[in-house]
Amino acid sequence: MATSPPPPTPPGLPAGGARRHAHWWQRTWVRYAALTTLLALSGLVILALVRKQTGTEGFLVGLGLAIFPVPLLVAAFRWLDRVDPGPWRNLLFSFAWGACAAALIAIVANSFATQWIATATADPSHADTLGATVIAPIVEESAKAAAVLLVFLFRRRDFTGIVDGVVIAGVTATGFAFTENILYLGTAFGTDQLTGDTGIFSVTAATFFVRVIMSPFAHPLFTVLTGIGFGIAALSADRHQVRRVLLPLTGLLLAMGMHAMWNGSSAFGEYGFFAVYGAFMVPSFGLLTWLAVWTRQRELGTVRTELPSYAVAGWLAAPEPFVLGSMKARRLAREYATHHGGRDAGRAVAEYEAYATSLAFLRHRGRRGRAGADFAVRERELLHELWARREPARPALAYAARATAPAPVPWPVAGYGYPPPYPAYNPYRT
């Protein structure tokens, strides 16, 4: 029986035995502080702009109605990310960027561009149409794509594939749509106050139905195309620089095109909106949803394929690759650890599952020649994290393996030309 290897040693210090100190502007806390300040200022400015346009009462009504789809959309993207969950700080940044920075950029740039077109053409109606179908898609999708680009560049270890791109882009767009819905619903409420309309025939009710009930996925659907481009780029080797640039740009152009078609649907006639919605938006949503779920299942398959090598080497117990490749078994392991060891044990098992998944993806990229120069260092880091959590994780994963093992299939009764009954093969038996 193979003995478990010793825990890996952390990466060594630079030559000379001392770490080089970064400049003050390169320190992590300085970057966090600068980014937090930027988002907070953007939030205050966008809050003032929206409140000025809708009024205090309209702002509160719009805020209360716009919040409805947010938990459902965030939960959906978080579910999609459960195989290799990214840190919450990335999701918080993405949502805050979409709701504050991207929304502020869109409001200022769209207003400026529309006013400039109206002045240049002396036709306000033409400026509004051109602004909605051309300017708005370019500005808004570029502003939302900036969040995906920042995570791709500065949180590269957390951005490893298509699912990560879909999640970051979708959460960013959810934040953007949240702020935009406050503006639209608050403005609609102000219009109803002037006209005296109430109930289901009011402008507020119609706006709520179209934006929150019928198409809460519109903005996420557009920006997810950009995220897919970045996700495919993340799977490409570092030497393919042209591909890593062209793929995100292609996704961004597709997002702009879909956004432009959606905004311009009213120009296709009285029923243009419903035609575009039924013939284009809903099928596109279904196709991208299928692609995301299929990619999630492929990720689980990668875990089951890559981790057995570490089990053979003794880093993992024999059944762990199969347990870590099943979301049901993972959940059972976390519940077992929490029940017997408390929340800290459950958290340790969840972290063990996440690190093991990252290790599988890293090895998968390495076998395909797509890993970076820090492959060996990153592999040792992940193995070190797994080793540090092996005590609470191994009993929980062993329990999950037993609970999810397939039921033994007995041999037919012996004596009628059949072989005698033997114990059924159990891959989890040690």
Report DSSP letters for 117-169, one per residue. Answer: HHHHHS-HHHHHHHIIIIIHHHHHHHHHHHHHHHHHHH-GGG--SHHHHHHHH
The 3 state secondary structure assigned to 249-267 is HHHHHHHHHHHHHHHHHHH
- CB-based contact 110:139 (threshold 8 Å): yes
Token pair for residue 111? Answer: 């207003």
**pLDDT, tens only, 236-258:** 866 678 888 899 999 999 999 99
Domain-wise residue ranges, the chain: 37-295, 307-404
Q: Which residue type is seen at 325?
A: G
Nearest CA to 173 out of 111, 94, 75, 253 is that of 94
Note the pTM of the prediction, 2 decimals: 0.84
Integer Cα distance of 105 and 143 in angstroms: 7
Nearest to 288, CA basis, from 184, 170, 384, 180: 170
The predicted-structure confidence for 133-190, as pLDDT tens digits, reads as follows 889 999 999 999 999 999 999 888 888 889 999 999 999 999 999 999 999 999 999 9
Closest listed residue to residue 132, CA positions, set 221, 264, 256: 264
Which of the 8 DSSP states describes residue 25? G
Question: What does the alpha-carbon distance between residue 223 and residue 366 come to, in Å, rounded to a whole number?
Answer: 29
> Tokens at residue 26, please?
């390169």
User: How many whole angstroms separate alpha carbon 69 and alpha carbon 241?
Assistant: 38
Contact 177, 101 (CB under 8 A): no
Contacts of 280 (CB under 8 A, 6+ apart): 261
Structure letter (DSSP) for residue 211: I
End-to-end, the C-alpha distance of the chain in Å comes to 10
13: DSSP letter: P
Could you give the angle at the alpha carbon of 204 between the alpha carbons of 198 and 207, nearest 5°?
145
pLDDT at 234 (0 to 100) = 87
Q: Per-10-residue mean pLDDT for the chain, 430 residues long?
A: 48 42 62 86 93 91 94 94 88 95 92 81 70 89 96 87 93 96 94 83 91 92 95 80 89 95 80 85 91 89 92 90 92 94 93 93 85 83 92 93 75 48 43
Cβ atoms 185, 128 nearer than 8 A: no
Tokens of 276: 């575009």
CA distances from 95 to 239, 327, 421 (A): 32, 26, 59
